Amino acid sequence: MHITHVETNAKVGADVEIGPKTLIIGPNGSGKSTIVNAVELALSGRVSDIAGRTDVAREADVMALAPPGDSMLLASVTFSDDGVAQYRTEGSTAKAKKATRVTHGPAEHDEVLPIRTLKDALLGSAATARKFLLGKIAGEVTRDEIAELFPEELRAEWTKQVKTVAKTVAAPDALLAVIEQAGTAQREAAARAKSAHEAAKMIGGGRAAPPSKKEIEAASQARQAASDAALKLAQAADLASWLTRTRAQFEEACREAEEASTTLAMRSAELANTEAPTPPHPAFPAIAAVMAVSIEAGGDCLACGGAKITKADLAYVRGELGDYETKRLAYQRLEADVRNRKVSTTAAIDRVERLEDDLSRGTPAGELPAMSLEEARAAAAAADTEYSNMRAAADAWATAKKAESAATAAEAEVEQWKAFKAACESTVGMVLGRAVAAFSRQVQAYLPEGDVFALRLIDGDREVVQFGLLRGEHLETALSGAEWARVITAMASACTPADRFAVLIPEERAFDPDTLSQVLTAFGAAPHQVILCSPIAPTTVPDGWTVIHRGSWSVRWPG
């Protein structure tokens, strides 16, 4: 699969057909980069070569490619399988809308423009470059083979860590994953160590040493003595208050008992001098009833049949009965009052005796501290605070020591992970070393005759990533612009799987015609689509290349 058509309004615009291998020829400003930028935007949503910047994605910045006065930017590519990828945004260089993109499945991956990916990796640190190359050129190595490259004392750790990586992940990628895990674990342990040190410093409060057990015991004894003194004074104060209250109660009880006894005597004498009432004849109630009925019947006595009963007779009988009932009730109330007063008088006397007994048992508090209760309580509070502070200091010191121990353990863990990570990275170098020869042969296949590629991973005792062209026995890494363009393109092609869609877009360089012809021949062997720009024409154009002329002048090739 490859791109067959490019359409864009960027810069000077383009609507062109391209092939699997395309050479775009034209002078500066003729629109060669227009086609390249359109492909970049459509495939990745990012573009290079805007104001010297190599990677631009912000829509307002990308709008710099739009023609003057145009508020819309479009880049679209069509694939040989009729799929389409497109980028579109609107606005200005001050403000632009979020781009809308149409993507095509086979071209939707992070390395669709492999030269860009390779440059990002190789222009970083040596460690970053080595890790990148490991995932690209060491695919045949196994996990067991990697284990054999570790120092014997770290193989078990490798086995343990690599088990956390899915078995479907290739061994080189698994090694990279383990390196990342080791780095994460090292950073986490370092963070724990730092936190533990800070906690120990904060908890310890800068104290040189904790209070001794002897000091804590002395503070405890002082606290107890102060508490006892305050309690003794409080008890003495409570006893004095109790005695005062009890004496007042005793005196009141005595008065109440005396009053009760006097009243009882008076009421008892009254009862003794009062004669119990004598009840009238027992028949009086019945006689009164017969008399009342007889009067109602006419006055003749219904009992004897002869005597006349008058109302005066009935009133007399009823008066006798009423007088008796009044005297009886009064006498009963007097008896009850005397009984009740005997009870209350007895209770009053009992209370007096009880209070008297309580007072007889009340004793002084003994020898008291020579201070007031308020002073004793203040001293007890101060002693308690001193003891509590000592205990808190001792506990804080113990906690701080635990934190320091945790920090020491975490620092040891940092060193262990650091050593393991270093072993992993060293293993990367060994695995790469085994793959360098095969990789170099792949790169060489995409270089013109006369270029001899070499990759160096060790420089003395340093781990490096140095690549370039051999000049006899010397590795030349300070390449010319044209040399750099063809070397990086050949490396990108070798790093990209042949069955994955990708577009190789070398940097535009001023090749001489013969060298350009050789470059076209070499790049023609690449398994990916190539788009190459040049301000000059090659001596000859190899088969399989599509040539696009930009600008007003034409190009002729000898023959």
| pLDDT, tens digit (0-9, with 9 covering 90-100), for 445-454 | 889 888 899 9
- Of 61-75, 308-322, 409-423, minimum mean pLDDT range: 308-322
Per-residue pLDDT, averaged over 384-402, amounts to 86
DSSP 31: S
Give per-residue pLDDT as tens, 276-318: 888 777 777 787 788 888 887 777 776 776 677 888 877 888 8
Tens of pLDDT, residues 262-271: 888 888 888 8
**Residue 245 class from Cβ within 10 Å (0-12 exposed, 13-18 middle, 19+ buried)?**
exposed
Percentage of the chain with pLDDT > 90? Answer: 31
What sign does the dihedral 469-475-481-485 (CA atoms) show? positive
H or E element in which residue 7 lies: strand 3-8
Half-sphere exposure in the Cβ direction for 35 (13 Å, CA): 31
> With a threshold of 0.85, does the pTM exceed it?
no
Q: How far is the C-alpha of 110 from the C-alpha of 100, rounded, in Å?
A: 18
| pLDDT average, residue stretch 100-116 | 90
Task: For 130-190, give the DSSP string.
Answer: HHHHHHHH-TT--HHHHHHHS-HHHHHHHHHHHTTS-TTS-HHHHHHHHHHHHHHHHHHHH
**Segments of 433-544 assigned E as strands:** 453-459, 462-471, 474-476, 503-504, 529-534
d(CA 430, CA 416): 21
CATH 3.40.50 segments of the chain: 3-134+445-549
Over the stretch 154-193, which tens digit does the pLDDT of each residue have?
A: 999 999 999 999 988 888 889 889 999 999 999 999 999 9
Decide which of 24 and 317 is more confident. 24
Distance CA 535, CA 56 (A): 24
Percent of the chain with pLDDT over 70: 94
Into which CATH architecture does domain 3-134+445-549 fall?
Answer: 3-Layer(aba) Sandwich (3.40)
Collect all residues with Cβ–Cβ distance below 8 Å to 164 and sequence separation of at least 6: 181
Q: Which two tokens stand for residue 519?
A: 């470059």
Q: Provide the pairing of β-strand 529-534 with 21-25.
A: parallel
Rounded mean pLDDT, 485-499: 89
